[in-house]
Every structure is written in C-alpha cells, then in structure tokens.
Structure 1
Amino acid sequence: MTDPIKEIAAKRSVEAVYTGGTVRWSANGQKLFSTCTNVVKVIDLEDNSSSYTIGDPEDELRITCTVVDKNRNRLLIAYNNQVIREYTIPLDPLATKPELARTWKTMHLAPILVMEFNEEGNLLATGSADHIVKVWNLTEQQCTHTLKGPSVVSAILFGRNEKLVVGYIEGQLHLYNIMKGAPKKHVMTWNNHNSHITGLLQVPDSRVIVALSRDQTMSLHETETQETLRVLPLYESIESGTIGHNGNLFTVGEEGVIKEFVIETAKLVRKKMISSSQLDHISYDVVSNRFLVTSAEQNLIVLDFEDLKSVRQIVGSHDEIYSCCLLGKGETYMAVGSNTSEIRLYNTKTLDCQLIRGHTESVLSVVSPSWDTSILASCSKDNSIIIWRLVTSSEDIATLVPLCAATGHANTVTALAISNSGRAPFLASVSSDCTIKLWGLGNYGKMKEAKIDMEKGFVEQLPKLTCSSTMVAHGKDVNCIDISESDALIATGGMDKLVKLWQVDTNKMQLGIAGTLSGHRRGVGDVKFAKNSHKLASCSGDMTIKIWNISEKSCLQTITGHTCAVFRVLFVRNDSQLVSADSAGIVKIWTIKTADCESSVDGHTDKIWSLSKNHDESEFVTAGTDGRIVVWKDVTEEKQRKEDEKRREAIEQDQTLTNLLTQKRYSDALVFALTLVKPYCAYKVINSLMSEETPEELSTAIGRLDSRQIEIILQFCVKWNTNSRTSLVAQRVLFEIIHTIEPDQLVSMPGAYGYIESLLPYTQRHMDRLDRAKQDVSLFNFVWKQMRNAV
C-alpha cells in the first residue's frame, strides 16, 4: 500500500474478560458468564463475535459473586453494596442480552461472597463476610431465614429434605433445618476441618455431602443421621471440586493439576497437569460434557471430560503487555509477551489462545523473522532467550515448540532483533547489563524439537546458541534494538540518552562500533531503520521523535507534538510517514516531509509498550499497560469514499430541491426537506410558500404532513424562533399548524410540551420587541405631525 495514511480506526480488540471470581455455564454449554470487575462478560465459546457485556462498565460498584439457577435461565449478580440484580437469560440462543428482572437490597452488613439456588430454583441462599446466611423465597420475594455463623461464610449447599449446609473459612460446617415450622434451625456442627471450606458437593442419588478444604482433606457427611461417614486425605490444598457424570470427584488446587478421585475411598483415578500456577475453580457442564477451570493467573481453560484435553484457553486478563508479534503463514497467529512467564499464542481469526510455558519470569520481547515466519524468538527477565518453532496440528491447534536457548546476559534481556535476510541469519539482543550480543542462527533449519520435562529446568534442557560477539553498548540500561534492511548495521537506544550504531560482519559474525547519535534529553525508547533510505528514527522520554541521517550521523528533523514520553515508532508508506505511540496511550500518524500530524487516536488508557504492523501495512497492533491488544486498520480510503458519497448525495438532494422549487411543487419540496431533516432547505421552501400570492398554499402544504413530519418541523421552528431574522417563518408555521391540526392530535405528540416550553420565552421576546417598535412608530408619527403643524 502506497497511499498516505490519514485515518486509522480500531478493527477489533482483545480485552479483559475475567478478573477473578465466579464463572458460570449457560444452558446450552456454549456460553460462559464470567466476572470482570464491575460487569459480567458473556463469552461465546463457538463464536467470539457473539460475546457481549451485562452491566455498565462505568458503574463504580464491584461484583462480589454470581450464580445461575439449575435451569440456567436466571443470572443473579451480587455487588459490593450488598445489592442483588436478577437477569432473565433468554432461551433463544439468537436472542440478545439478558433483561434486568428485579433488584433488591439484601441488608447484609458486608459483601456477599457466595450464593446458591436450591434444586427447584425457588430458594436462594446468600452468604456474607458478616458471618450471616440469608435464605430468600424468590416466589414470595421475602427473606425466610437469617442464620448467624461463627465466621466468614465460604460455601453453601442445599441438601435433601430442606436441609442447608454452610461452610466457613475457619473450617466449621453447620447443618440447618430450613423447613417451615421446624423447632430448631441449627441442628448440627461438624468440626472435621481446621482450614477454609472451599467446596460443598451433593453426592448424586444420596443424602451424603462432600466437604472440601484447604487442610488437604475431604469429609463425607449424612444430612439425615447427621453423622460423619469418613474423613479422607487428598494430599493437596483443595480450592474447588465438582462431580462428573460418572459419580467421581474432580478437584483442583495449588499444584495446578486436575485430579479424579473415587468419592468413597479417595482413590486417585487419574490426574493431569493444567497450569504452572494454582487452579482456583472447576465446574462441570453435563450438556457439553466439558470442564471449565480457572487459574490464579485469571485464565479460563475448557477441558474435554474423557481425556482432560484442553479444548479452549481464554486469557482472562493480560495485566501488562510488553510485546506483540504476528507470525505464521498469512500472519494467522500472534505471540504476546506480558507480565507473566508464559507466551500467549493467539489465533488472530478465532482469538483462541494457547499458553506456552518456558520462561520463568515476564516475557519482554517476541520477534519473528520475515524469511521464516514459523520461527519466534523470545526474551525474558530470567536473563534468557528461547528460539521456538510454530507447529500446527491436524485439528488446526497451534503451539510453539522450543528449538534452542541462549544464555549469557547477566541481567534482564530487554529487546531482540532478527536479521532481515536468511542467507546469513543472526539474532541480536540487548540487556539491562548494558551489553549487546550477536548470536548466529546458521544451523536453525537443522534444529530439532527438543524433548522437555516440565518438572526440570526448561532452558537448561535446550541446546545452547553460541554468542559470537559481545560489546558494552551503553552506560545505562539498553531499551531497544533494530537491524537495517541490509543487515549491515544495528542501532540501539538506552537510558543514557544515546543512540549507538554497530557494524555487523556477517561472515565472521562480529560487531564493530559505527558511531553515536546524541541529541535526546531523556532515555531513548525505540529506534527504527527506514527500509528504503539511509534514515533512522528514534523516540524518547523527552516527548520528541528524531530523524537521523545515518551516513552523516546528523539529525535531519525533530518532530514534536506528543505531550508525554514517546515509547514506540515505525516507518510506514515507503518511509514517507511515521506511526508513534506514547505513555498516555495516544497513537499518532506523521507525514515526515511536513512534520504534520495526520491523525491522533486515543487507543489505550495507559502506556503503549508494543507497536507493530502486518506485512502490507494495512493493519497495526498496539498493546500496553492496560492489558488491551488493539488491531487498527487504515480507513483513509474508506473515509474518503464515505465523504465523497455524502458530497454526491448532498449535490443530488440540492438539485432535486431546486427542481421542485423551480416547478413550484412546494408541497413536495417541503416533504422532501423534512424527510431528509434539512432545516435550511425547509426554511427556503417555507419562504417561497409565504411569498406566493395565494396564502393558503402554506396551509395546504402543512395539512399534507404526517405526525412525524409535523414533529420535525416543530423542532425546526424551535431553532428558527431563537433568531429574530428567522422568527417570522417560525411564527407563521406555528400559526398554520395550530389552525390546521386538531389540538388533541398536536398534544398527543411525544415532545409537544417540550416544543411549547421552548417556543414561549423567545415568542414573548419577539412580542415585546414588536410592542416597542409599535410605540416608537407611534411616537415618530406624533412628532412628525407636530413638526408639520408648526410649519
């Protein structure tokens, strides 16, 4: 694409869909209701475009928990002001958002932490941090029980025969009889646990309940006989559990493993590693026969029941994103490095995400070479670099397999760059240890996929790249690096306010000093070589962008316009334009020749750390501290086409109106002007009607209007009446409307009273002005007559 960019617009974005808390299945097993701070995100597992939000994102209230009834046609949301909102979930999957059915204040004294329905769905129990459980009859809309406990409520379960079991964070279990007229509400206390009760489950076709705890045990209790059947060790701090259709217990906890147990004996049937972090919640959907697991890193993982294979992974919240990179054939995948140790690999079409484990700390940079888009290099705060290959399975599920690693930097590896040619491929890296290193990739094509044992050190098991050259690059941390199109030069920028140039001997794979570019007054955030000219762009914390002549090592141009630190810059459109991003989340488009800002877009709410483009520069990707990934597209041509279309329509409409006025078809012209909502055109038509010799023409034209057109012309009258030059037309139209249309019909219009209220003040002013003019004329006549009589 060669046409200059004038406008960009967000094509789509990847935003937070889960920030911790509860996640519920929909009735058909295709949607998830996930908590995202102050709203509920409805995630469509089959079609991402069908996802939507329940609630107002601007609402200051925070969601504490949610619940869906057993039929899954009602969603209840509890907020931190102890208010519950009930939404009706439509049964039709094509229907739009759930509707708010009712809202009520629970009178709890602290946030509601857990809510549960009974089997029939007519009773709701709410447990709070105020140690109280309230039971609500939703049919009669009243609170039937208030049950005071020993500590904060952590789990609730409706048992058989109108029993209620409540678990507390100190490990107690209370059994309540909530039958109407029961002589005693609290019937039993079980003290088999000494830590947080994290789950209560009903064993199918029995009166036995299972209690799970963080004390690494589970207990079985009979709700009728009130006896404890057994307490069994699970050898893991359990966070959540569910019962599958085979009657076995599935648990997740601190080990990041899903485990299947026989309930009666706690015999371990199978287990599978799901995440390197703790797993917080698991739920089973019998319709789709799948598990939903949430991790402590706020990721959602959908698993198949039979083999516990991951069917879908959704990143709930990215936290802070440092780098994004498009890769794969047709750029169908995007690697994301963020404030976690995993690389997030997105399918750009479906937005399905795979979590790739390898690094042990935050991933700061991911890059892919143009000569082989199946290769990816990543670097991290763990001081290491890993080379990956993108592999796609027959089921179109992609993953990254490790090929080799590079170690040698003594501190955080901050940025990477890969050569633009595959003839003598190399990787360059910079670090907080102030050095630049060169790594040869000559044998990358022969590298085989490494077999990794995830229990052992990841990087230590990989073949190692050999560093061919190391140079001390800057006096302070090095922030950025880029390689020229010819692979002959490397540019680096650091916190010492300098841009350094380095020669690359690709035969010996050695670095040499090529020069220093000074002029920035703050640390350099990014450097980029022009593709087809001897220019280099750099941006800095001093809020400027500088264009340098590489040959003469001089500054050609300083572009100002950003109001805060500029972190990223890109050459586009054959090096004639720049795209820049700053710490306030602003993206700007610049024309280099004139230093004019063509467009400025508020893309993020915080710092933008990543700015990249696709191969034809039709799309750009930004990401940053706010955790959002935004895909921008060039809409210059589209906007120009729309403007041309509007201009053509306006010319056609003006010509049509002129033709109608020339032919003296005033009634048709008035209808035409009102249909297009053109106040000035309507004013011209009414002026023409008023200047006609037959005054009834205006009355006839207004009589032909329908109620919607009458309402539009009244809106015009309100505006015209505010100006003394156009008030005559407004008053005349109002006169004709009052005398042509029945009063009942006029009053029945939705905004009738509003129009009258708006017309009255200015009408009074016009009357006062006319009265004063009349008095002035009378005085003038009197004086004139007196003067003539005197003569």
Structure 2
Amino acid sequence: MTEPIKEIAAARSVEAVYTGGTVRWSANGQKLFSTCTNVVRVIDLEDNSARFVKIDKFLPKTEFFSYTIGDSEDELRITCTAVDKNRNRLLVAYNNQVIREYTIPLDPSTTKPELARTWKTMHTAPILVLEFNEEGNLLATGSADHVVKVWNLVEQQCTHTLKGPSVVSAVVFGKNEKLVVGYLEGQLHLYNIMKGAPKKHVNTWNSHNSHITALLQVPDSRVVIALSRDQTMSIHETETQETLRVLPLYESIESGAIGHNGNLFTVGEEGVVKEWIIETAKLIRKKRISSAQIDDISYDVVSNRFLAVSAEQNLIILDFENLKITRQIVGFHDEIYSCCLLDKNEGFMAVGSNTSEIRLYNTKTLDCQLIRGHTESVLSVVSPSWDTTLLASCSKDNSIIIWRLVTTSEDSATLIPLLAATGHANTVTALAISNSAKAPFLASVSSDCTIKLWGLGDLGKMKDVKIDAERDLVEQLPKLTCSSTMVAHGKDVNCIDISESDALIATGGMDKLVKLWQIDTHKMQLGIGGTLSGHRRGVGDVKFAKHSHKLASCSGDMTIRIWNIAEKSCLQTISGHSCAVFRVIFARNDTQLVSADSAGIIKIWTIKTADCESTIEGHTDKIWSLSKNRDESEFVTAGTDGRIVVWKDVTEEKQKIEDEKRREAIEQDQTLTNLLSQKRYSDALIFALTLAKPFCAFKVINALMSEDSPEELSSSIRRLDMRQIEVLLQFCVKWNTNSRSSPVAQRVFYEIIHIIEPDRLVSMPGAYGYIESLLPYTQRHMDRLDRAKQDVSLFDFVWRQMRSAV
C-alpha cells in the first residue's frame, strides 16, 4: 500500500470481560455471566466467532462477548451476582445496596435479559453474598454490615434479619428451612428460618479460625461442608447440629464445588484443582491449571465442566473427566507492554503483559491461551520476518526464552519453548531479531545498562525438550551463548532496533541518548557506531527506516526526531504531542510516521511537511505497544488500560464517503435550484426542511416573501407536517440571533402561530425551549426598531425646522 494514511479506525479490540467478582453459568452451560465493574458481560463459550458491533462510521468493531447487561455509563459498581437453579433469573447487587433482577430468556441469542424489578435491601454496607434456595423462592443476602437478610421473592418481602459476629463471607440454604452462614473470622452460625420458629439462631460452630470461603450443601443429605483459609474443611449435620469431622486439606482454600460423582473439588493459593473424597479427605487427583492463585471454582452439571477463576482475572474452562483445559479467557489485561503478530497469515498474536504468562490470541476469534514460562512480567515479544513461527520473549526475571508456534488445529496453536538465555543482571527491557536468516542473531538490552548479542545459528538443530511443569522452565531449556556484551548507556536502556541490512543496532536510554552499534555478523561482535544527542528526556523508542538512511526516535520531551545515520545529525524535529512519546514506527515507504504517547493519543505524521494528518484518542492511558502488519493495512496498539486495539487504514473508505457526500450535495443543490427556477416554492421549502439545510430554507422563504401574493408563504407553511414545522422552528431560532435574518424568522414565526392551534404548538417537543430562545433576541430587535423610529422622528422634525427657517 502506497497511498498516504489520513485516517484509521478501530476494527477489532480485546476488551475487559471480567474484572473480579462472581461468574455464573447459564442454564444450558453455554454462556457465562461475568462481572465487569458496573455491567455483566455475557460470554458465549460455544460460538468462537467474533461478534461485530457497529461503533465506527467506517468499520464495524469486533467484540469478544455476546452482549452486556446493564449500563456501562452507570457510576455504580457491582459487588456480586446470583442465578437461580432454573437459571431464568439473574440478580445483581450494587455498592449502594440495591438489587436488580433481570429475567433471562430461554434463548438469550435472540432476546436479551430484561430488567424485571429493583429494590433497596436496607443493608448499611455492600452486599458480598447472594444465594438462592433450591426452590428459587427465597434469597439470602449477606453483607459487610454483619447482617444476613432472607427475602421471600414470591411475596416480595424481607422475612428475616440475622445479625452475626463479623463480615458475612458465605451463605448456603440447608434442608428443612435451615440457613448456614460463614463469617470472615471463621465462625459458622446455623439459623432456623421456618415461619414461626421460636428461635432463629440455633447453633454456632467454632471449627475454624480463619475466613470461611465456601459453604456447600451435599446433595440428597442434611450435610453442609465448610471450607476455610485455615487449610481445613469441616462437615456439619444441620438437623442434629453436630460437627461430623474437621479434616486437613494442607492448603489455604479459596473455593470449592461438588461434582456429579459426589466428590469435593477445591482450589486455592497453589493454583491447583484437587479432588477429594468428602468423608475421609483423601486426595484422589490434582492438576495445576494456573501459576497464580485460583479464587473460585464452580461446576455445571449440564455441560459437565468446571469454571475456574484465577486471581489474575482469567476464566479457565475444565473438562470434568480429565481436568483438561478446554478454553481460557483473559478477563482483564492489567497492563500490556508488547504485542507481536505470528504465523504467515498473521492468524495469532502474542501478548506480553503485567503477568508471567504470554497470552496467545487467535486474531480472528479472539480466543486465548496462557503460555507459562517466565516467572515475572513479560516486557517484550518479537518475531523475525524470516520465520514468523519463532518468538522471543523477555521478562523482569532477567531471562529470554525462544519459542516456536505449533499449530494444533485450524484455529488453535501453542508455543513450544526451544531455548533460554540468561546473563543480564537486571530486567531485560527490549529485544530485536535480525532481518535476515543468513546469519541470524538476537540483540537484547536491559536495566543493567548493557546490550548483548546472541547468535541463533544452531536454532534449526534444536530438538524438543521434555518439560517438567513443576520446575522453572528457564533452568530446563538449553542455553543460548552470548557472543558479545557492551555497556550501552549510563542509565536504563529502554529500546532497541536493528537496521534492514543487519549492519547497525540503535538503542535508546534514560540518559537521553540514542546510540549506534556496528555488528560483525561473522564474528558476532558489537562495535561502537556513534552517539546521537539532542533529546532532553529519556528516549522511549527508536526505529530504523527500511528504504533510507534514517532513524526515528521519540522521547519524554514530547518530540520525535529524524536522524541521518551516515552524518549522525538531526534532520528534523517533530512536535505536536502534549506528553511523553513512547512509541514510533515508519509507514508508507518511510514517508510517514505513526506515534503513540503516554495519554493514549495516536498521531499520524507526514515526514516531508511535519504535518499531523490525524489524531486519534486510542486509549485512556499510556500506550506501550505500537506495531503494524506486513502490508501496513492494520496497526495494533496496547497499553496500561489493558485494551488491545487493531486499527485499520480507512483513508480510502473515508474518501469514498466524502466523495459521495459531495455528489449528494451537488445533486441536492441542483434540485433546489431547479425548483426555485420553476417557482415551485412550496416543494422547494419541503425539500430544504427534509434535508435539514437552513440556508436553503432561508433562500426559499426569501423568495416566497418577495412574491406578489402575500398568501404564498402562508399556504406553503400550511402544507408542512409537524416534524417539518419543528425543523423550521429550529431554523427560526438560529435566524433570529442575527439582525439581517431576523425579519425572516419573525415572519415565519408569525405565520406558524396563526396557522397551528396553541395546544398543538405547545405539545410539540421542545416548544417551550424554542419560545425561550426567541424571546430575548426578539426583544433586542424591538428595542433597536424603537430607537430607529425615534431617530427618524427626530430627523424629520429637524428637517422641517430647517425648511421653515429658509
């Protein structure tokens, strides 16, 4: 593509679908209701295809979720949700202690849930727990105010208010109208909620000394299981009120679920799903599914699957039979540092973020896999142009890992680790891979102020390595050998790039300098190539031009500089950003630049004139990643707000739309001219009002007022319907603000109030607003006319006196 970029628009994006809280299954086990701050996202687990929503005048935008329940503009925050047993009602509790009930249709794909009712619970603190009884006619609400309220949903009234010793953390309905409540400090209270019961609080169990995280009713029994962070579970009989057992689980438990086989499944701080026999707490099987803590697990009997929710807001779907991960959904990217397109068709995208896993996305379906390898945040991911199945990643754990993309099916792939590189004494901040495969190499920079060169000549000979998931991956992989190391900058090194010929490397650091490094590819050695100085703040990014001896750099001083590499001089300084510029890339045969800053603003520049062609508010916070696809038809940005946005060049589409608008305007002007020349004024007025063109309407009314017949304007206005009258009144308000056009406005308003009955005029939407807008300017015009009349009278008197004196 060679045409200059004038406009880009969002084509696809990865948005937050879960930001913490509760996630519920739908009735058929095909959808999830996940909490996302102030709305509930509905995620379709069966349909992997992306959903297109029209949000841009040029392009539809792809979203991951099916639809949203609630108003995204609402300032309230959701604290918890609940779905009844039949899963035809969704209850949502907000931080103002209000509950909204939504009716879930049988086929949510055709009809969205509707708000059935809203009620205030009278709790004095946020509601933390919502729980239905088995029949779905009772609801328990547990709050941070230490109170549990029981609601009869049929009669729509609160039947019980139960005060406890501390913050409510778990609630479950037992058999024979019993209610068990768990508290933050480890107490368990048993309540009798039968109507007319003489005593509500019937027993207290002190089996735990820490947070009760889950209460589970064992099916077809009167037994309730309590799970706690004190690494134990307790089993209680609600009818006899006795504690049957207290058993050790050797892990701080966060959540649990009972499968169809009657066994207990727990998750906790280890990131492992464990299956236990309830009576003896015998561990049957376990499987690690996350490197982070797992906060919740729930079982869906219809689809025979588990849903696990990690502390990093990832949703993991597990098959019951073998605990195999069948789907992974990233609920929310905390902060994204780097994105890289993979595969020859660019069908996958690797994402490095503020987590130790690499997120591997399918760019079409937006489905994701979490690839474990690093132990700390991944700061950069890059792929060579000569083999798009290779990926290099670096991390705050001071290491580098080389991966290979292996396609497992048409829409699925994974990353297989090949090599690791260790040697940097601090965080590895950025990577770059050679542009040619003749003498391939990897260059890395670090917060230890050094640059390292790693030869990749033996990469093709690598064999698969057996990996132990319980051990550190970097320790198990074969190691790359560093061929050259040099101290690059006086402070942290932020960025690196390699020239198209693989002869030079450019680095930028917090010492405000851009440095050049020569590469001897035969010996794989670095040499000093020069220093480019001029920036007044740390350098955020450097990029070589592909087809010229130029280098672009951007900085915290809010400028972009273009350098002549041969002469080591600054050719151009481009200003326009209002804050630090973090990323810059060349586009359109090095004739344009695309830059991104710390405020989330993207700018497109024409280098020759230093003109900004377009400014886009792409993100709400810092943009850390800016990249492009091979043909420069799309750009990918990501940053601190956790969003990944794919932008498409819509210059051609915009030009077509503008050309179409101009053609329509010419046709409309010609039609209006024809109507006026034929003296078809009534038709011309209707045409102008239909197109909402005030100047055209003004010309038509002027022509009607200049006609010999004074009834012509009145008859033309009588032909208008109420919508056209409303548009004409809006025009009158604008015309009345100018003394030149006010006579037309006054005449039109005079005709309208004499033609339309007062009741109809007042019932028109915005009628009072039109009158209020007309009055002050009308009064001003009247005052001006009064003064003119006085001046004329005075002039006439003086003139007569002068003539009589003569």
- Same structural fold, with TM-score higher than 0.5 when normalized by the shorter chain: yes
Does residue 46 of structure 2 align to residue 31 of structure 1? no
Q: Deviations over 1:606-641 (max 9, x none)?
A: 222211111111111112222222222222222222
Partners of 1:603 and 1:788 in 2: CA distance: 77
Q: Report the 3-state secondary structure (helix = DSSP H, G, I; strand = E; otherwise coil) of the residue aligned with 1:593.
A: coil
**In 2, Cα distance between equivalents of 1:743 and 1:499:** 75
Between 1:494-503 and 1:324-333, the stretch displaced more is 494-503
Q: Does 1:383 align with 2:383?
A: no
What is the RMSD computed on CA atoms of the aligned residues? 2.1
The gaps in structure 1 that reach 5 residues or longer are: none
> Hey, what does 1:657 align to over in structure 2?
672
- Please tell me whether the aligned partners of residues 620 and 631 of structure 1 are also in contact (alpha carbons under 8 angstroms): yes
| SS, match of residue 115 in structure 1 | strand
Which residue of structure 1 aligns with residue 261 of structure 2?
A: 246
Decide which moves more: 494-503 or 457-466: 494-503
Which stretches in structure 2 are left out of the alignment for 5+ residues?
52-64
User: 14-23 vs 526-535, which deviates more?
Assistant: 14-23
Contact 1:220–1:228 (8 Å) recurs in 2: yes
Residue 222 of structure 1 aligns with which residue? 237
1:135 is matched with which residue?
Answer: 150
Please give the alpha-carbon distance, in whole angstroms, between the structure 2 residues aligned to 1:742 and 1:523: 71
> Contact 2:333–2:353 (CA<8 Å) still a contact in 1?
yes
User: 1:689-747: per-residue Cα shift (whole Å, max 9, x none)?
Assistant: 12112222222222222221122112222222222322222222223223333444333
Given that residues 549 and 555 in structure 1 are in contact (C-alpha distance below 8 angstroms), is that contact kept between their aligned partners in structure 2? yes
Map of 1:526-541 to 2, 5 A cutoff? Answer: 526-541=541-556
1:631 aligns with 2:652: no
1:313 is matched with 328
Please give the alpha-carbon distance, in whole angstroms, between the structure 2 residues aligned to 1:237 and 1:688.
85
8 Å CA contact 1:401–1:450 kept in 2: the answer is no
Match of 1:400 among 406, 415, 423: 415
**3-state SS of 2:546 partner:** coil
Match of residue 5 from structure 2: 5
- Per-residue deviation, 1:419: 0.6
2:425 to 406, 410, 420: 410
State the partner residue of 2:205: 190
Please, which moves more after superposition, 78-87 or 450-459?
78-87
Note if 1:106 corresponds to 2:116.
no
Contact 2:362 2:411 in 1 (8 A): no
Aligned counterparts, 1:507-586, within 5 A: 507-586=522-601
Distance change (3 Å), C-alpha of 1:48 and 1:125: farther
Counterpart of 1:479 in structure 2 is: 494
Matched, 1:356 2:361: no
Q: Structure 1 residue 84 and structure 2 residue 84: aligned?
A: no
Equivalent in 444, 451, 475 of residue 459 of structure 2: 444
Identity %: 87
Deviations 1:256-282 (A, max 9, x none): 111223333433333221111111001
Gap change, CA 1:501 and 1:761, over 3 Å in 2:
closer
Structure 2 counterpart SS, 1:329: coil
Shift of 1:310: 1.6
Deviation, 1:436, is 1.6
The aligned amino acid for 1:422 is A
Shift of 1:437: 1.5
The amino acid of 1:550's aligned partner reads: I
What amino acid maps onto 1:553 in structure 2?
K
Letter in 2 for 1:280: D
What displacement does 1:195 show? 2.1
1:504 corresponds in structure 2 to 519
CA distance in 2, matches of 1:385, 1:681: 67
8 A Cα contact 1:493 1:524, kept in partner:
yes
Distance, in Å, in 1 between the alignment partners of 2:608 and 2:127 is: 60
In the alignment, the residues of structure 1 paired with residue 794 and residue 509 of structure 2 have an alpha-carbon distance, to the nearest angstrom, of: 84
Contact map agreement 2:352 2:381 (CA 8 A) in 1 = yes
2-structure distance, mates of 1:288, 1:779: 95
- C-alpha displacement of 1:452: 0.5
| TM-score of the superposed pair, with normalisation by structure 2 | 0.94
- Tell me the CA shift for residue 10 of structure 1: 2.2
Note the alpha carbon deviations across 1:219-253, whole angstroms, 9 max, x for none.
Answer: 23222232333333333222111222333322211
- Deviation above 6 Å: which 4+ runs of structure 1? none
Instruction: State how far apart, in whole Å, the 2-side matches of 1:385 and 1:111 are.
Output: 45
**CA distance in 2 between partners of 1:684 and 1:245 (Å):** 78
1:295 pairs, out of 290, 299, 310, with 310
Change (3 A) 1:315 1:658: same
CA shift in 2, pair 1:592/1:232, >3 Å: same
Aligned position for 1:22 = 22
3-state DSSP of counterpart to 1:130: coil
CA distance in 2, matches of 1:592, 1:307: 58
| Matched residue SS, 2:338 | strand
Answer with 603-612 or 53-62: which moved more: 53-62
CA distance in 2, matches of 1:585, 1:194: 47
How far does the alpha carbon of each residue in 1:551-599 deviate from its partner, in whole angstroms, 9 at most, with x for none?
Answer: 1222212222222222211111101111112222222211111122222
Per-residue CA shift, 1:433-474, capped at 9, x if unaligned?
Answer: 222221111121221222110112211111111222222222
> Which stretch has the larger CA shift, 694-703 or 47-56?
47-56
Residue 784 of structure 1: CA displacement?
A: 4.4
Task: Normalising by structure 1, report the TM-score.
Answer: 0.96
* Aligned residue among 708, 719, 744 for 2:734: 719
Aligned CA distance change for structure 1 residues 96 and 544 (closer, same or farther; 3 Å): farther
> Does the 8 A contact of 1:325 with 1:336 survive in 2?
yes
1:516 and 1:52 map into 2 onto residues whose CA distance is 53
Indicate conservation of the 8 Å contact 2:486/2:526, yes or no.
yes
Partner residue in 2 for 1:367: 382
| Counterpart residue type for residue 247 of structure 2 | L
Asked if the contact 1:527–1:569 (Cα under 8 Å) also holds between the matched residues in 2, the reply is yes
Q: Give the Cα–Cα distance (whole angstroms) in 2 for the partners of residues 414 and 776 of structure 1.
A: 80
Classify 1:595/1:768 alpha carbon distance in 2 versus 1 (closer, same or farther; 3 Å). Answer: closer
- State whether residues 50 and 364 of structure 2, in contact with CA within 8 Å, keep that contact through their aligned partners in structure 1: no
1:242 is paired with a residue whose SS is strand
Q: Identify the range of structure 1 (512-521 vs 84-93) with the bigger mean alpha-carbon deviation.
A: 84-93
Shift of 1:133: 0.8
What is the CA deviation profile of residues 479-518 of structure 1, one whole-angstrom value per residue up to 9, with x for unaligned ones? 2111111111111122222222222122222222222222
The residue that corresponds to 1:596 in the other structure is 611
Q: State the match for 2:44 in structure 1.
A: 44
- Rounded Cα–Cα distance in structure 2 between residues aligned with 1:120 and 1:697: 73
How many pairs are equivalent? 791
Of 491, 510, 514, 2:506 maps to 491
Where 1:330 maps in the other structure, the secondary structure is coil
- Determine the C-alpha separation between the residues in 2 that align with 1:720 and 1:92: 53
* Residues 751 and 564 of structure 1: CA distance in aligned 2, closer, same or farther (over 3 Å): closer
